[in-house]
Structure formats: structure tokens, C-alpha cells
Structure 1
Amino acid sequence: MASLSCSAEQLAPLFGANVTSAAAAADYICGQFSVVSDKFIDTSYAVDSTYLLFSAYLVFSMQLGFAMLCAGSVRAKNTMNIMLTNVLDAAAGGIFYYVFGFAFAFGSPSNGFIGRHFFGLKEMPSSLFDYSFFLYQWAFAIAAAGITSGSIAERTQFVAYLIYSAFLTGFVYPVVSHWFWSTDGWASAGNTGNLLFGSGVIDFAGSGVVHMVGGIAGLYGALIEGPRIGRFDHTGRAVALRGHSATLVVLGTFLLWFGWYGFNPGSFTKILNAYSSGSYYGQWSAVGRTAVTTTLAGCTAALTTLFGKRILSGHWNVTDVCNGLLGGFAAITAGCSVVDPWAAVICGFVAAWVLIGCNKLAEKLKYDDPLEAAQLHGGCGAWGIIFTALFATKKYVNEVYPGKPDRPYGLFMGGGGKLLGAHVIQIVVIIGWVSATMGPLFYILHKFKLLRISEEDEMAGMDLTRHGGFAYVYDDDEHKHGIQMKRIEPTTSNGKDII
């Protein structure tokens, strides 16, 4: 907020000859005026910080959504395992993002590849960032890790979760977010001094930075592990291994929907920003529009999936509809702030078919992902990046990314193909980076027999072999009736006991 000016030299001549001490009176008035001006500045910081903190809380609530969605999508015998991994994604991610991740992502000034300041939040708060910004970005980082955990559910050793989660949140994800979100990033739309193709990449809330990174990381984990036992029969035909609770899936979906209102609108990080002072239209309007485009994309994707799957399978399937809804959200995340509401409907419609197509391809390739995470977040996230390059409007691009009035915008909106070129590069480099980092990590874990559990453990369920018992009590009187649950000791893939 610009400060207002007031000085004794300006006011003293206005008092006239009858005032005993015009200069003293002017000093007093200006002093009070400065106090009021400072209060307005303080209030603007407080309002923006409160808005960002509230958005961070919303994004963090998505962890509960991921936990419920994952729990409902796996079989009952692995419920405790997947819930614990979701808790530790947040906990391990918090430590590693604090020590390394935030600095790699936003440690300005830096080069275009990686940040180099604010390790362990040293020198915080600063003129660049306050603690609320760190909390918000941490919530994003652990969301990426939560996506990956779904892809490798029901067959992964617990130590592998800890290793990949720390590596993803502490290094892999932060480097990508530096490229596209830091003002120093080589492809960032905020790097007005060196814009890729004159536009930079407009990935507002992370269809690529968050969803593609998490989805592709999960893709490599699931590919290297292989499908769950029984997912494909001896002829190669897909066998449905349905999750145990549609109730938890729906609960998780609504929690994620709720959290997405912090994920997308919250990515403005500030709300008290007037585009023209004294007008009803300002950044608060853009925040509201972003919430609307997010909603419309998800709703359209849900309805499209509902009828699409009904035509293809003959069933009204609530789990498919929930995944379709989330696919629409993942797709609109990149362009939510720079497209019109009608375009969001197109985004959601196409996202639903992208997800359906990716799932069909996964079955053909005998790829097993219990949460459809790679297909949903990777496939729909990539579509969202392309969608933004096609439908971003000139007006909204200039409002959200000021400082360069001739910035390219959507191809279909008359803005040329430069933005599309930048976004194709984004897709390519994210795939390349995650492949070069997470692929070798999962392969090394596999070679050291730290990735997949043994066949015996998988058949029995990890809750019983790794976590001391089932998540659900099926019979309170089991001991009265002489039924006892025998704990099965965990084994490695070669049949030997492990500690």
C-alpha cells in the first residue's frame, strides 16, 4: 500500500496570518496523519497474512482428505498402513521442507535452477517472506507426497515411504517449484527480467508443479514395484480389487474439495490489492472468480464421468465420480485465475475423458495404481497445463501477472502460440526431472529389497504383519467365543524374518 505524504512545508502556508505557530500546527496534523497512514499499512499486512494463513489451513486439511480417500480405496487389511503413511508424509515433509525444501524453492536471490537462502528459515521473516508463506508452501509440498503414496499403496515397505517422502519434499518438488514459482526461476511467469518465450509458465496453483510431480513420482514407484497380487489374472485380464469403504472415499473427496478453495484461490497469497483504487473490482474479485472456475471444472468433470462410465460399464459408480471430480480440480489448478468460468466447464469435461482414457491405457499396460493417482494427477495435470495455454485471457493474465503488458496469453483467445510453447516445455522438463530423480530412487530401493513387502505379508495384509492388528474390530467377543487373532511376523520377499 502506498504511503500518503504530509509535511509542515505543505500545510503551514494554508493556516494564514492569524495562527500563532503555523509550523507547529502543521507538524501536529501531519504527525497524526502519518499515524493513520501507518495503521492502514499495518492493517493491509495483517489482512493479507491472515488470508494466507487461513488458506494454508485449508490446504493442510487436504491431508485429512487424502487420508480418508486412500483409506477407503484400499482393502480393509491395509487401512492402518495407509493412514500412517499419510500422517508421516506430513510429519517427515514438515522437517525436510523446513531444513532444505523452502530454501531450494524460494531462497532468493539465486540462480534459475535452485534457491540458496533461508535454510532452516534463517533470516525469516524478511522483506520477501513471512512465516505464513512458509506454512502455505509446506502444505503444498506434502500434498505432492500424499499423491505419490496412493500409487504405491498396499504393497510398499514402510521404510520406503519415509525415504521417498523426505527426498520428494526436501529436494525434488522444491526444485520444480523454484523453476516455475520463484521470481528467480528460469521459467517463472514472475521472472519479468527473463521470461521464457516472453511469457513464462502460467501454472498458477500447480497442475504441473504439484500434481504432475506427485503423479509421475507415483508412476515410477508403481511401475518398479509391479501390480498387487491378484490385480491381473493368469490371462492378463484386469481384476478389480475394490476399496473397502465408499463412505470414506466420498468423505475424503468432499474434504479435498473444501481444501481446494485454499489451494487455488489461496495461491494469490494476498487479497487486499486494488486493481484501481476506490473500485468494487480488485484482487478480491479475482480470488472469487478463481473459486468459481475451480468449482465449475470439478462439477463438470464429475457429471461427465458419471454418464461416461454409465455408458462404458453400465453402472452409476460413486468412486469413479469422485475420481473424476478430483481430476477436474487437478486440471483447472494451473489456469484457475486466468480463464473465464465458461472455459472451466470445457476444462472439466475434457479432464474426465483424459482420466477415463488413462485408466483404460493403464489396464492395457497392466499398470496397477490403487488410487488412480498417476492417471488422475499426472494425466489431468498435464491436460490442465495445455488448457491454460489455450484459454488464458489477456485481461486476467495482465491483472494476475502485472509488469509486462504485452505478455502472451491463450492461443484460442488470440494470444498466439508462445504460451503454449512454454507450457509444452514445462511438461517435458517435469517428466524429465522426476524421471531422473525419483525413478533411480525407487529402483535403488527395489534393488536393496526395501521397496516391496513379501508375498506372505501382502496376502495377510500389512495391518496384521506390520502394525500389530487390524484397523477394525470385527467382533468384540472374539475371545469369549474362543477366536484369537494370531499375529503374523513380517518377512522379506525371500522368506526370511526381518527385525
Structure 2
Amino acid sequence: MASTVCSAANLSTFLGGSATNATAAAEYICNNFNAVSNKFVDTSFAVDTTYLLFSSYLVFSMQLGFAMLCAGSVRAKNTMNIMLTNVLDAAAGGLFYYLFGFAFSFGSPSNGFIGRHDFGLKNFPSESFDYSYFLYQWCFAIAAAGITSGSIAERTQFVAYLIYSSVLTGFVYPVVSHWFWSADGWASPAAQTLLFGSGVVDFAGSGVVHMVGGIAGLWGALVVGPRIGKFDHSGKSVTMRGHSGTLVVLGTFLLWCGWYGFNPGSFVNILKNYGKSGSYYGQWSAIGRTAVTTTLAGCTAALTTLFGKRLLVGHWNLTDVCNGLLGGFAAITGGCSVVDPWAAVICGFFAAWVLIGFNKLADRFQYDDPLEAAQLHAGCGAWGIIFTALFAKKEYVNEVYPGVPGRSYGVLMGGGGRLLAAHLVQIMVIVLWVSVTMGTLFWMLRKLGLLRISLEDEMAGMDLTSHGGYAYDDNDYDKTLEMGKKVENPSPGTLPV
């Protein structure tokens, strides 16, 4: 932000008296004026940085939300394992995003595919980036890794978590974020791109974060295979409930709170007016609107899931409602800043049915994802990308992404089909990129014998076999072990859960 500069030479011509006195008075006035002006500039930077840091802390709290949600959604004998993987997503992600990830994402100048500068935060801080921006983007990277960990829970070797988390946060996710969020990215709306002259409007990452994490989890779950006992001899899905609805609800509310840093925080700064200074309307209003659209999409999805599942299965299901709520949040994340609140209600309604539909497909094709992470984040994230291309409002798009005349906006808002075409391309390239990279990685881990745990370890529970003991003192563990010992030549579908 540039300060307003007072020129003593210009001011002196308006002051009476001798030339010497006029010059001295002008210098005195301008020195004080410039000092005050610079203080306002300093304050603006401090306010914006504080806003970004606070948003970072909210987003980071989502790691605790993921940990609690995952812990409650798995069986008790795997509680310590899944919580430790969430800790390591943050720890390994922090190191690898620092060394490589941020540079691949935002290192500029670069080509349209990948960043090439600022490895290990070299040349920080600068006019382009301060440390707070790195912290915020790191929180996003580890969120993508946290999504994936739930898909392969309860049957994956611990070393596999370390490897995939490092690769995802250090390379796979950063490349995607460079494409759509860096000013140099080939599909970024920050510049006049080649992608239909529009670029992609994925404000907080329905595609960049949620689809990347969800598609990675999809391939992980496909390659590692379903949990023992998840499908019976006829191929019918067997319910394997998580051990704590309390932890599921706690994790859901923590994620809900963190989403107020995830979506509104993606504005990065708050002290920015739209139009002339002194108006009540500015970026602070857009931030408030973004928080409202986020809230409405999640609430609508939760209620739609509640009544939808009641009609389908005949009872009110706590976990389904929590996942529906999160599906609404994942869907609205891409367009939260450029749609009206009424459109967010539509987003949440359809997000719930997208999640229900993908869960039906998962059962039909014997796909096992304990957290419904691929269905929720990849499925609802893809819907969110399409939704944004349908409902993005011209006024909001030009405010959030200024500087490009004739920028495309939502099809149903009169903006033509260029934005929709760009968003369909986004979905396809994310699926292709993550499938090639993470699908290959999981396949290699399986071939090397580093992916799935042994049958005995899975029956006993990973807490006992990998982490030295159970999270809880519960006699049910002993019963599970005794039942496992009595089964001779077990096969999938016959083992006790």
C-alpha cells in the first residue's frame, strides 16, 4: 500500500511570507504529514496481517476437527493410530511445504505449470509475501492431507501415511494450487489466461483442496482395498460404526468453526474499499457475506441429509447429518465469495444429495471409505465447482477478481458458458493429475509391501500392534482377540468386526 506523499516544494508556493520562511514551514508541515501517513500505512499492513494470522489459526484448528472426526468414525481399537496420523499430516506437511511446497505453489516468476522460486522461504519477507501468507497456505496444504488419511483408515501401514502425506503436501497439492491460485498459473483468474479468457473461480478451494484430497483418498482406498468384514459373501455392505458419536460431533463443530477462517480468510486482507473511500461497503462486507453463504450451505445440507436419510433408511442418523453438513461446506468453498446467500441454500441442498448418491455408488461397487472422504470432498467439491460456474454474480466476481474487463460469470446469472467450460476443465485436470500421481504412489507402496497391514494386525487393531496399546481400557478388545483366534483360514466377509 503506497502512502500519500506531501511535497514541500509544491506546498511552499501556497504559503505567504518570505521564500525562506515558506520553505521551512512547508518542510515542517510535510514532514509531520508524511509521518502520520506512514503510520496509517503501517497500521493497514498490521491489520491485514493480523486478520490473515487469525484466519490461519482458525484453519489450523481444523486439524483438531479432522482428528476428532476421524477418531470418532473408526473403531476404538484404531483410535490412537488415526489420531497420530493427523498429527503427522501437520508435522510432515509443515516441513515439506516449507522446503518445496510453497515454492512449487507460489514461487514467482515461473511458468504456468509449477513455481520455481522461494524454496525454504528464501527471500522472505518481500513485497509479494510475508510469513503470515506462508502459514495460511500451509494450513490449506495439510487440510488436503487430512482429508486423505480418513479414506485409508484402519488398514494402512504407518509408514505409508508418512510417505503419502509428504508427497501430497510437498508436490501434488502445490502444483494444483499453482495452476489455479498463483498469478502465473495457466488457469488462474488473477491474469488474463488462455483458459477461455476466463480462468477458474475457485476462491477457497472446492477443487484445489477438497477434490485433491478426496481423489487422493479415493485411489488410496481403492488400492488398499476394503476393511475385513466390510462386505459379506453376497457383496452387501456391512455397517461398521465408529466408536464415538461424541467425537464425531466435536470434530464436526471444530471443522465448522475452522471454515470461517478457510473461506472468509481466503480474501487474505480486509482493509480494502470497493469504490470510493469512506463508504460502509468494502471488502469487509464481502468477507461477512462469505461467512453467511458458508453457514447457509452447511445448514441446508445438514437438514436435507437429515430428512433425506430418514426417508431412505427410516431413522435419524447422527453421522450422516454431520457428513452432510461438511459436504455443504466443501461445496460452497469454491464460490462462497461470489454468490448470494439464496444461492448458497441451493448449493447445500444439492450437495446433500450428491453425497447420498455417491455413498450409494460406493456400496454398490464395494468401495470402503470409513470417513466418506472421497464421496464428501471429491464429490461435493466437484459439485461446488459446477455450482460456482452457474451462480457466480457479475458484481461480486468483478470485486473479488478486479482488473480484467469482460470477465465471465455464472451461466444462470447471464454470464455465458465460458466460466462453466473452464470449471469443467478444472475438474478433469484435477482428477487426471491426482490419479496419475497419487494413484501411482499408492500402487507402488502396495507392490513394495508398504501399504496394507497384515490380517492379524487388522483384527487385533492398529493401536495394539503398531502403537503399544489401546487408547481405552476396555474388555471388548480381549473379546475381539479371542474371536479372531478361533477363526481358522479366515476370508473377507467371515471375520468378526
- Indicate whether 1:147 and 2:134 are aligned: no
**Taking structure 1 as reference, are residues 195 and 393 closer, same or farther at Cα in structure 2, changes over 3 Å only?**
farther
Deviation at 1:267, TM superposition (A): 0.3
Give the whole-Å Cα distance in 2 for the aligned partners of 1:13 and 1:173: 59
Q: Which residue of 1 aligns with 2:355?
A: 355
Deviation at 1:195, TM superposition (A): 4.6
Q: Which residue of 1 aligns with 2:493?
A: none
Give the whole-Å Cα distance in 2 for the aligned partners of 1:103 and 1:18: 58
Runs (5+) with no aligned partner, structure 1 = 489-499
Q: Which residue of 1 aligns with 2:443?
A: 443
Q: Which residue of 1 aligns with 2:251?
A: 252
1:77–1:470 Cα contact (<8 Å) kept: yes
Pairing 1:13-412 to 2, within 5 Å after superposition: 13-17=13-17, 21-192=21-192, 194-276=193-275, 277-412=277-412
Give the whole-Å Cα distance in 2 for the aligned partners of 1:281 and 1:445: 53
Give the whole-Å Cα distance in 2 for the aligned partners of 1:405 and 1:396: 14
2:103–2:115 Cα contact (<8 Å) kept: yes
- Matching residue's letter, 1:376: L
Greater shift, 2-11 or 43-52, is seen at 2-11
Give the whole-Å Cα distance in 2 for the aligned partners of 1:420 and 1:366: 32
Give the whole-Å Cα distance in 1 for the aligned partners of 2:448 and 2:14: 83
Q: Residue by residue, what CA displacement relative to the aligned partner does 1:67-108 show, whole Å, maximum 9, x if unpaired?
A: 000000000000000000000000000000000000000001
SS at match of 1:21: helix
Give the whole-Å Cα distance in 1 for the aligned partners of 2:89 and 2:8: 59
2:191–2:404 Cα contact (<8 Å) kept: no
Q: Which residue of 1 aligns with 2:418?
A: 418
Give the whole-Å Cα distance in 2 for the aligned partners of 1:18 and 1:182: 56
SS at match of 1:435: helix
Deviation at 1:403, TM superposition (A): 0.1
> 4+ residue runs of structure 1 moved beyond 4 angstroms?
none
Q: Residue by residue, what CA displacement relative to the aligned partner does 1:301-356 show, whole Å, maximum 9, x if unpaired?
A: 00000000000001111110000000000000000000000000000000000000
- Matching residue's letter, 2:85: T
- Matching residue's letter, 1:165: S
Deviation at 1:18, TM superposition (A): 7.0
Give the whole-Å Cα distance in 2 for the aligned partners of 1:2 and 1:461: 60
Give the whole-Å Cα distance in 1 for the aligned partners of 2:460 and 2:129: 49
> What value does the CA root-mean-square deviation take over the aligned residues?
1.6
Deviation at 1:12, TM superposition (A): 1.7
Give the whole-Å Cα distance in 2 for the aligned partners of 1:446 and 1:78: 21
**Taking structure 1 as reference, are residues 95 and 75 closer, same or farther at Cα in structure 2, changes over 3 Å only?**
same
- How high is the TM-score relative to the length of structure 1? 0.94
The number of aligned residues is: 480
- Matching residue's letter, 1:451: L
- Matching residue's letter, 1:362: A
Give the whole-Å Cα distance in 1 for the aligned partners of 2:252 and 2:110: 38
Deviation at 1:4, TM superposition (A): 1.6
1:189–1:195 Cα contact (<8 Å) kept: no
Deviation at 1:20, TM superposition (A): 6.5
1:188–1:195 Cα contact (<8 Å) kept: no
SS at match of 2:196: helix
Give the whole-Å Cα distance in 2 for the aligned partners of 1:120 and 1:2: 29
Deviation at 1:16, TM superposition (A): 1.6
- Matching residue's letter, 1:236: G
- How high is the TM-score relative to the length of structure 2? 0.95
Q: Residue by residue, what CA displacement relative to the aligned partner does 1:235-261 show, whole Å, maximum 9, x if unpaired?
A: 111100000000000000000000000
Percent identity of paired positions between Structure 1 and Structure 2: 79
Runs (5+) with no aligned partner, structure 2 = 485-497
Give the whole-Å Cα distance in 2 for the aligned partners of 1:48 and 1:469: 46
- Matching residue's letter, 2:394: K
- Matching residue's letter, 2:155: R
Deviation at 1:6, TM superposition (A): 1.6
Q: Which residue of 2 aligns with 1:495?
A: none
